[in-house]
Amino acid sequence: MHVEFKIEGRYHVPEGTSPLEGVANQFRLPTGQIISVYPVIEMASGADSDDHRDLNWSECASLGISLDLYDRQSELEPDD
Protein backbone atom coordinates (compact mmCIF):
# COMPACT_ATOMS: atom_id res chain seq x y z
CA MET A 1 0.00 0.00 0.00
CA HIS A 2 1.04 3.62 -0.36
CA VAL A 3 -0.23 7.16 0.17
CA GLU A 4 0.09 9.59 -2.75
CA PHE A 5 0.64 13.19 -1.66
CA LYS A 6 1.44 16.57 -3.11
CA ILE A 7 2.69 19.47 -1.02
CA GLU A 8 2.92 22.99 -2.35
CA GLY A 9 3.48 26.21 -0.48
CA ARG A 10 5.98 28.84 0.52
CA TYR A 11 7.84 30.15 3.54
CA HIS A 12 9.08 33.66 4.12
CA VAL A 13 12.76 34.39 4.67
CA PRO A 14 14.62 37.55 5.73
CA GLU A 15 16.10 39.99 3.21
CA GLY A 16 19.62 38.96 2.29
CA THR A 17 18.79 35.26 2.00
CA SER A 18 20.50 33.71 -1.03
CA PRO A 19 20.47 30.38 -2.89
CA LEU A 20 23.28 28.05 -1.82
CA GLU A 21 25.67 27.96 -4.76
CA GLY A 22 25.69 24.58 -6.50
CA VAL A 23 23.14 22.94 -4.18
CA ALA A 24 19.49 22.68 -5.17
CA ASN A 25 16.73 23.58 -2.70
CA GLN A 26 18.99 25.06 -0.01
CA PHE A 27 19.34 28.70 0.99
CA ARG A 28 21.79 30.68 3.10
CA LEU A 29 20.26 33.07 5.65
CA PRO A 30 22.01 36.39 6.34
CA THR A 31 23.29 34.75 9.55
CA GLY A 32 25.11 32.10 7.47
CA GLN A 33 22.81 29.28 8.53
CA ILE A 34 21.46 26.98 5.81
CA ILE A 35 17.75 26.20 5.44
CA SER A 36 15.65 23.94 3.22
CA VAL A 37 12.18 22.46 3.27
CA TYR A 38 11.64 18.73 3.13
CA PRO A 39 8.48 16.70 3.75
CA VAL A 40 8.45 14.63 6.91
CA ILE A 41 6.26 11.84 8.24
CA GLU A 42 4.42 12.99 11.36
CA MET A 43 2.81 10.71 13.93
CA ALA A 44 0.38 11.11 16.84
CA SER A 45 -0.84 8.50 19.30
CA GLY A 46 -4.48 9.01 18.24
CA ALA A 47 -6.85 11.11 16.14
CA ASP A 48 -7.71 13.43 19.05
CA SER A 49 -4.29 13.60 20.68
CA ASP A 50 -2.03 16.64 20.82
CA ASP A 51 1.28 14.80 20.72
CA HIS A 52 2.19 15.13 17.03
CA ARG A 53 5.88 14.74 16.27
CA ASP A 54 8.11 14.13 13.27
CA LEU A 55 9.44 10.60 12.89
CA ASN A 56 13.11 10.12 12.06
CA TRP A 57 14.22 7.71 9.33
CA SER A 58 14.90 4.77 11.66
CA GLU A 59 11.54 5.17 13.44
CA CYS A 60 9.79 5.14 10.05
CA ALA A 61 11.70 2.05 8.96
CA SER A 62 10.79 0.20 12.16
CA LEU A 63 7.11 0.88 11.38
CA GLY A 64 7.44 -0.23 7.75
CA ILE A 65 7.17 3.34 6.45
CA SER A 66 9.45 4.85 3.82
CA LEU A 67 9.31 8.21 2.05
CA ASP A 68 9.86 8.19 -1.70
CA LEU A 69 10.40 11.75 -2.84
CA TYR A 70 9.96 12.06 -6.62
CA ASP A 71 10.65 15.75 -7.05
CA ARG A 72 11.50 18.76 -4.94
CA GLN A 73 11.96 22.25 -6.30
CA SER A 74 12.54 25.46 -4.37
CA GLU A 75 13.11 28.95 -5.76
CA LEU A 76 13.91 32.23 -4.01
CA GLU A 77 11.39 34.89 -5.08
CA PRO A 78 10.60 38.42 -3.90
CA ASP A 79 7.41 39.03 -1.88
CA ASP A 80 4.48 40.40 -3.85
What does the pLDDT look like over 32-42, one tens digit per residue? 999 998 888 99
Contact yes or no for 54/42 (Cβ under 8 A): yes
Q: What is the pTM of this model?
A: 0.68
What does the pLDDT look like over 37-69, one tens digit per residue? 888 899 999 999 999 999 998 999 999 998 887
Virtual torsion, Cα 60, 75, 24, 7, nearest 10 deg: 20
Return the DSSP state at 75: -
The CA distance from 5 to 2, in Å, is 10
Written as one letter, the residue type at 13 is V
